[in-house]
Structure 1
Amino acid sequence: MRSMLSRTAVLSLLLAPAFAIANEGDAASATSAAASASAASTNTLINAAPADKAQIVFFRESKFVGGAIGFKVREGDTELGKLRSGKYFVANVEPGKHEYNVHGETKDVLTMEVEAGETYYVLGSLGMGIVAGRPNLSPSDEATFLSMSDKLKLAK
């Protein structure tokens, strides 16, 4: 009987933090959803996409590590812009399928299907490489862009 009570006590002590973490996650996602809903109405950096084109916002978080390394975003051989730490640029493109690539120590390609009148977000990041950083492009969203927007500047 005593060992059964001991096991129950130990089990409850082990499970209590798991339930607390699960509840924190639910609260965090609810807070995040509320923040993204309010942030979506306060986007002053990006205008609406033209009716006949798609708009893609390429951005990179402002970080000290890798801050001196920039990379060019290209579609085929055409350079669309250069992403440095804490910068963003907007590309207006024709609707349809597009392949964007970045080169560094390795090559990364992001394929997107875009529609006219829509705005898309792409997060550029820099991973660890042997000699230099490894650039990466990944789909993102407006809430992520807005959460970083106070530290972002338009690339020239």
Structure 2
Amino acid sequence: MRSKLSRSILLSLLVVPAFAFAQEAVAPATTATATEAVAIGNKLVAAAPQDKAQIVFFRESKFVGGAIGFKVREGDAELGKLRSGKYFVATVEPGKHEYNVHGETKDVLSIEVEAGETYYVLGSLGMGIVAGRPNLSPSDEATFLSMSAKLKLAN
């Protein structure tokens, strides 16, 4: 009985480190695959024109706050409306831009863009007293791609 217990303990001491080593070997491959997905390119958004910049505004698909949409504006000009699970692309001149959204509160995002580049802006909805509080924050292509399966182009 004692020898069976000793063998079981010895075997478990050998298996646990081997399993941990195998997990470490798998982790870099998973990271490389995610990086390759970004490097392959974005099928939803074409490359930016050489003389202009483009900004992709997107909002994650969520049930909570899904009925609430908000308009993205630059000054008084409306660029598009962000609803849950939607995105739109704005082609703009290079330079500094300020985008705002209104709801229970106002949020302003200042961004400087360069010609031939694509930028990503994540729209979200925070909790408010009466209605949601829209928010715009800088994002990246990897975040956009991770949500892209559930995103649709806004009308």
Q: Distance in 1 between matches of 2:76 and 2:28?
A: 40
Give the CA deviation at 1:43. 1.4
TM-score by length of 2: 0.79
Match of 1:148 in 2: 147
* Structure-1 separation of matches of 2:50 and 2:99: 22
TM-score by length of 1: 0.79
Displacement of 1:102 in angstroms is 0.2
1:118 maps onto 2:117 in alignment: yes
Shift of 1:33: 5.9
Alignment gaps of 5+ in structure 1 = 1-19
Matched, 1:61 2:60: yes
Alpha-carbon distance between aligned partners in 2 of 1:125 and 1:154, rounded to the nearest angstrom = 16
Larger Rg: 2
Residue 135 of structure 1 corresponds to which residue in structure 2? 134
Residue correspondence of structure 1 range 1-156 to structure 2 within 5 A: 31-32=30-31, 34-156=33-155
Q: Any unmatched runs of 5+ in structure 2?
A: 1-19
AA at the equivalent of 1:63: K
Runs of 4+ displaced beyond 6 Å: 27-30
Q: How big is each residue's C-alpha offset from its partner over 1:54-80, in whole Å with a ceiling of 9 and x where there is no partner?
A: 000000000000000000000000000
Identity of aligned residues (%): 84
Amino acid at match of 1:101: N
**Which whole-Å CA distance do the structure 1 matches of 2:119 and 2:78 have between them?**
18
CA RMSD of aligned residues (A): 2.0
| SS, match of residue 63 in structure 2 | coil
In 2: Cα distance, 1:29 partner to 1:145 partner: 22
Q: Where does residue 10 of structure 1 map in the other structure?
A: none
